[in-house]
Structure 1
Amino acid sequence: MRAYVLHPDLKSDPGRRLPELRLAEAVALAAALPDLEVAGAEVVRLPRATPATLFGSGKVADLGERLTALDVGLVLVDGPVSPVQQRNLEKEWGVKLLDRTGLILEIFADRARTREGVLQVELAALSYQRTRLVRAWTHLERQRGGFGFVGGPGETQIEADRRAIDDEVVKLRRQLDRVVRTRELHRAARRKVPFPIVALVGYTNAGKSTLFNRMTGAEVLAKDMLFATLDPTMRGVTLPSGRKVILSDTVGFISDLPTQLVAAFRATLEEVLEADLIVHVRDISHPETAEQAADVAEILTSLGVAEDVARIEVWNKLDLVPEGEARAALLAEARRREGVFAVSALTGEGLPALFDAMSDALSEPRTARTLTLPFADGRRRAWLHDTGLVTAEVETDRGWRIEVLWTARQERRFREMAG
């Protein structure tokens, strides 16, 4: 199918980035869908959005002629489109239309592989569809007749459809709860293994999967494509220092991620909450790498990732930065900053220093402590055992006397649980 990509550049948007770069990202999103040919793309500058059609009538007519000439069957609008706007534009242009949320949902539906990933995508899609029933039903004044028990006209078609979607959402949530419980059992088992967890995070297409493959020898899908990785992948890795870690590759972050997907993929992203070290991978060759890094930091904060979790920043794709003054300045800047490493996951440049830093970051000093917990404090006792911190335990008349060996961060977590 031939597609045309539009990025509405609203002057009223205070946080807008360079529209040409936003359009390029939207085109890359479109290219991530199989069997889709991008026939053209453009930035549409708007002083304000038109309620009925988003674009003004003249622009709608102009675009309609272009879409017909290019034989376009799908229009992708990089931004929010209301159900009414979508219905009107589809009718006017004779094409299918997807907004940014719909496009990302399509990509996620195509890429999800694990049971949890598939369920989360279905749940997000249903939440999205529920808000857009007005597009599907143009006969909302029609009503289904009631059974005649209490009189009255019965429920409208749209109410029936909403109820059907709500029933399906309840069923999906039940299935997802079972899958999430299984994942939690796996996490609890991992906590008992004395290996720290390292989570790779970053903006989509920053090169996380390439770095993951380089470190693990795995064959995770690694392409120059947005959202190449959707399902979390974990592998045991031995760093050059001999330290064993569990490495987690996570779904890439993106600006303006649809709210339905933030909620639906929270369980997947919660792998990051278990991490002992977060490695933030940045595409340092991208012109908006600083803005992408800010988006990642914002999402990590929204997930509730603690500030005291050790972090390393990786300036990846060094192979795409041409030789010269700019590259030399970038390398010098990385050396000046603590915890920042310029690398190329593709060629291996800079990786030995990164791996050494990862080992050092995980080598927190541990302190022995003796704790006395009352029998009523079984939750914290279970946490100590699950996390693998207990070296000895004796039951007394007043409770448990427990010997632990922990880091300062683990001690803080334990103290916070008392609240």
Structure 2
Amino acid sequence: MQQFDVVVVGAGAAGLYGAGIAGQRGLRVLLLDHAERLAEKIRISGGGRCNFTNRDAGPANFLSENPHFCRSALARHRPADFIALLERDRIGWHEKHRGQLFCDESSEDIIRLLVRECESGGVVRRQPCGVQAVRAGRRGFELDTDAGPVATPQLVVATGGLSIPKIGASDWGLRLARQFGHRVVEPRPALVPLTFDAAEWAPYVPLAGVSLEVRAQAGEPGRKRRSEGEFLEDLLFTHRGLSGPAILQISSFWRPGEPITLDLAPGIDLGQALRSAKSGSRRQLVNELGQHLPARLADAWCAPLGAAAHRPMADLPDRTLLELANSLQRWRLTPSGSEGWRKAEVMAGGVDTRELSSQTMESQRQPGLHFIGEVVDVTGWLGGYNFQWAWSSAYACAQALRPAAAFA
């Protein structure tokens, strides 16, 4: 049976990064992954350019049933630390907006960087190589793998979440957590488009492809427990529902059966604007509304008014204008569901952090067992935050790992 100081299961962002750091600290590290291709989620992220972090990442940008858990790791390994690694290797990067950082060339630059870090630390990498069973004993763990049995005093689970199953998503880490008595916060798709009942959505199907900036909120406006789930971002109409950054953001806060609320004309008092434009105007309502919204959306919203939408503004009562404005700035609708794991960018939920050390990511139930990255109940906003959690949690864990001799 081969012996290692630490075995890392999962060669995604967190697993590669943590294995490399541990190896460079002098530990003998084995990195395993069941998938055919390495770090596929990094490869497809950011349109192929990997939104590898967010310059402004902090605890307020993450969701968890234990919201303070992420503070320690994020404080100890900040976006600037990962940026420094890229600059050391002369990997070009740029900021798009709202602190979102992308590679200039390709996501492959990040993958090659992480592989080089592992090679520098002498990490033994086996892929594809599945793990059939894990047993705990007096001296740590024994793993039955496709390449034979392995023993280690420290096991790091970095198997990610359930999103995008076609690239190898697995519930292996969640099952292992349960095996060792850990509570798992019910996983759900996050950063995912929302869908609506086909009959109810039929009037909006012709709007597929229309995009605009909106203010989106999960739940009722003003509800304190959802106040953090409000975003000013772009929205996209689709044939089945709504997508775009605004919807992906609030999807992490949304729960089935709850409404979402959209302001389709943020930043202005649309009712006041329409009333002001009415004075002596011969312009039609639909044309005036088109000054504030995409033309197709203005046409669709005015359609229920019939002929009134094409009458001069001056002929319309204030009440009609105010009702129309309110329907646009307080559009309340209830999704029937989401596009699910197939389209979700990340998993919300995961291993309950109340049973992990925020300093080391180690289990409080099973000594030597660690969980890092997406498998943990810490979910970032859209915009590079989830990669930052991968780097930060991996760093915190790797710094705490010890040689096998320390366990003798």
Q: TM-score range by the shorter chain?
A: under 0.3
Instruction: Give 1 or 2: higher helix fraction.
Output: 1
TM-score (norm 1): 0.24
TM-score (norm 2): 0.25
